Amino acid sequence: MTQKFKIFCLAILLGSAATLPLVRADEWKTETMVTFSAPVAVPGQVLPPGRYIFKLADADSQSDRQIVQIFSEHQSEPLATVLAIRAYRLEPSDDTLITFEDRPTGSPEAVKRLFCPGDLGGVAFTYPEDQR
């Protein structure tokens, strides 16, 4: 890559960054508590009704992968550790936002996306074919 091309690419990146909304550096180090009144599926398991803490852990900053740890409300040990991908929304909200995937009748709802209060970034859960 030539020096002029590198400078051109850097100028484009800096110009683009000036037009993007500011994102907090700790956006991916967030946690939120949720309460489910019915069983809910996450990749690899079904959580019974109850209160849970979803923690977004550090992941490889060079990829879109995110690690989500799910704890009981007492946080004694993780109940599940799930590999997810980053998801984005246009407007933050003051509340936790969870969306669910469509599932066959009689199956527990499956968490599709999770956004913590105030964050534009969240996570999207991906499920293996046999769990869809």
Mean pLDDT, the chain, integer: 78
Contact, 84 vs 70, CB < 8 A?
Answer: no
Can you tell me the distance from the alpha carbon of 93 to that of 110, in angstroms, rounded to the nearest whole number? 22
Residue among 91, 93, 84, 108 nearest 28 (CA):
84
Domain assignments of the chain as residue spans, ordered by start? 24-131
> CA 126, 127, 128, 132 torsion: positive or negative?
negative
Contact 23, 121 (CB under 8 A): yes
Q: What is the DSSP letter of 95?
A: S
Mean predicted confidence (pLDDT) in 28-39: 84
* pTM for the model: 0.70
> Could you give the percent of the chain with pLDDT greater than 70?
72
How large is the average pLDDT for residues 23-44?
76
The pLDDT tens digits of the residues spanning 104-113 come to: 888 999 999 9
pLDDT on residue 131? 72
Q: Are 130 and 43 in contact (CB under 8 A)?
A: no
pLDDT at 76: 84
Q: Among 23-27, 93-97, 113-117, 122-126, whose mean pLDDT is lowest?
A: 23-27
Per-residue pLDDT tens over the stretch 66-103: 899 999 988 888 999 999 999 999 999 999 999 999 88
List, in sequence order, every residue forming a beta bridge with 80; answer none if it has no partner.
70
